[in-house]
Structure 1
């Protein structure tokens, strides 16, 4: 490899895309095309970057499998950053296998970290942990080690293991400083800030207050009966009753939990569960049916007692009752939570991450645009959606799909 290519590669590794372009901007050979593509990606010119990387992959000869694999990994990273989650994951797996076969462990590890980050975005934590466990961070240089620790922290935060997350992020901060890459240091600082920023609200006995991620972890481990609005479940420590497919039942149990130890009137329950402003006999009959279904679902955790004016929640074991609520509750909150990372998302990527239909996501986006919460640019398949981050809140917990028909 000639001196200009080497210098450009070192500039890219140090986070200096302009310095790299100064050295290879006028060259059309395959290594220069690849480096230009990576530089353009670092500058945010993703379409141009993808075109250059594909030209480079075609320009490398049949014996240059490692170079072509590196182009694939670079294109996969562009797809991840631009939230093109439909990009073929098998292509990245194949490139990673090629790199490992030829001893390029650094770029193979980078491919593995990209796969972990994609799996995290679409909520497949078990698979992300499995891939990460295959990667040994010990021999990695500082920048790659920081990426590894960021992945460890991302999984730990979603698992509500805040001590593990903080330790990983401290390692990541140290490694990022060693690497001296400003963008990487900023990414680590943002992740650390998430640990010290309210991630949820606690509603209990008529009061509410914000919770940090560590406090959410402590709540989940406590003997309290928790109505979890993130995952649409009722839990006490390890015992969990999911109501993700029963939106009416979840609305009822949330209303009862917010009023505990008091009761809730029948009219209020009808309004919150069915949306009826004026309760008639048919509403009351339906309420009795749904309360019966809710009793059956919660039979291992709590009972629901009838009172003179309505119903009250009665946990089987002593302890508080609390509602774990989103920090900001608006319609289509799950879509907003993903967009709050500041990246531009395709509607297909949002649908994949939420486990929802693309048309449903598109309708939600249209409504959010009308309300001024989301902006879009581009047309057709190139259309992307984004919104500025919500100031003062982390979005780590705001990943599960919304209630059906919510």
Structure 2
């Protein structure tokens, strides 16, 4: 490796893509192409970065397996950042195995962290934990140790383990400052901001207030009966009743939870749960049927009693009844939650992360675009969607992955 390639590589490691380009911008040999691709990726031109890396892979000789594997890892990172979540995991795994076989432990670890971040994005927390557990960050460079702690913090936040998340972010901040890479420091600051912004709304007894993630964790550990409008479950302690596939029952449970300890009139239950402006005898019969189903579903946690005016929720525990709702409720809140990270997403990646069909996601994106809440660029397979981050709240409770005990 000549002096210019060495200097460009060091510049990229230090987070200086312009300094790297100044040294290799006019060169077309394989190492220079690879470094130019990484530099363009750091500058945000992902399309050109991918093209340069693919040229580099083709230019490297058959005996340069390590160099080609590093290019594959770089391509995988670009795909992750550009939210192309359907990239070939098998190619990354093959590249990682090649790097490990040739003793390149740093880049092999980088491939592992990419895999863990991908699993975290699509809500596979257990798999992400297993991947992270197989890595020892101690001998790795500061940037890699920061990545390790960011993934650990992300998993802890998804599991509502705020103390573990804060500890991981504190370690990440310390290592990031030691690395001296501004973009890395900014990424840690952005992750830390999640813990200091409202994560949900607490509704109960006619009042509501915003909760931080730590307060949500405390609430879930309390004796309260919680009607969780973020996950569409009703829970108390470790007992969880899912109503995610029974929207009418959940609508009734939420109305009863918001009114507790008062009862809810029958006409109001019919109007809001059945979305009708009038009530006749058929609606009243249907209400009795649905309330019976709700009573059966909630039997481990509470009873639904009839009163002269309507129905009331009576918890088995001694705690209060509260409703946990999203800080800002939108029709397509789950899509907005993913777009709010400021990264460009493809509709296929959104569908993969949310576990739904691409057609459903596309309809949501079209509706959000019509309201000016999302915008797209590019065409065909290169089309990407994004929106400015929504200020004032975190999206942790909207993202894929269950609560503890769910």
Residue matched to 1:62: 62
Alignment of 1:82-101 (within 5 A): 82-101=82-101
Give the TM-score of the pair, scaled to structure 1: 0.97
Report how far residue 115 of structure 1 moved: 0.9
Report how far residue 89 of structure 1 moved: 1.4
Alignment of 1:10-159 (within 5 A): 10-159=10-159
CA contact (8 A) 2:113 2:132 kept: yes
Q: Deviations over 1:355-386 (max 9, x none)?
A: 11100110111111111111111111111111
CA contact (8 A) 2:224 2:317 kept: no
Q: Deviations over 1:225-250 (max 9, x none)?
A: 11111211111111111111111111
Answering whether residue 355 of structure 2 is matched by residue 355 of structure 1, we say: yes
Residue matched to 1:182: 182
Residue matched to 1:404: none
Residue matched to 1:226: 226
CA contact (8 A) 1:223 1:236 kept: yes
Aligned-partner Cα distance in 1 for 2:324–2:109? 37
Moved >3 Å (runs of 4+): none
List gaps (5 residues or longer) in structure 2: 402-406
Q: Deviations over 1:121-149 (max 9, x none)?
A: 11111111111111111111111101110
Residue matched to 2:261: 261
Aligned-partner Cα distance in 2 for 1:97–1:293? 53
Residue matched to 2:248: 248
Alignment of 1:333-348 (within 5 A): 333-348=333-348
Give the TM-score of the pair, scaled to structure 2: 0.97
Q: Deviations over 1:23-54 (max 9, x none)?
A: 11111111111000000000110000000001
SS at match of 1:344: coil
Count residues in correspondence: 401
Report how far residue 281 of structure 1 moved: 1.1
Alignment of 1:381-400 (within 5 A): 381-400=381-400
Q: Please tell me the root mean square deviation across aligned C-alpha atoms, in Å.
A: 1.0
Residue matched to 1:283: 283
List gaps (5 residues or longer) in structure 1: 402-406
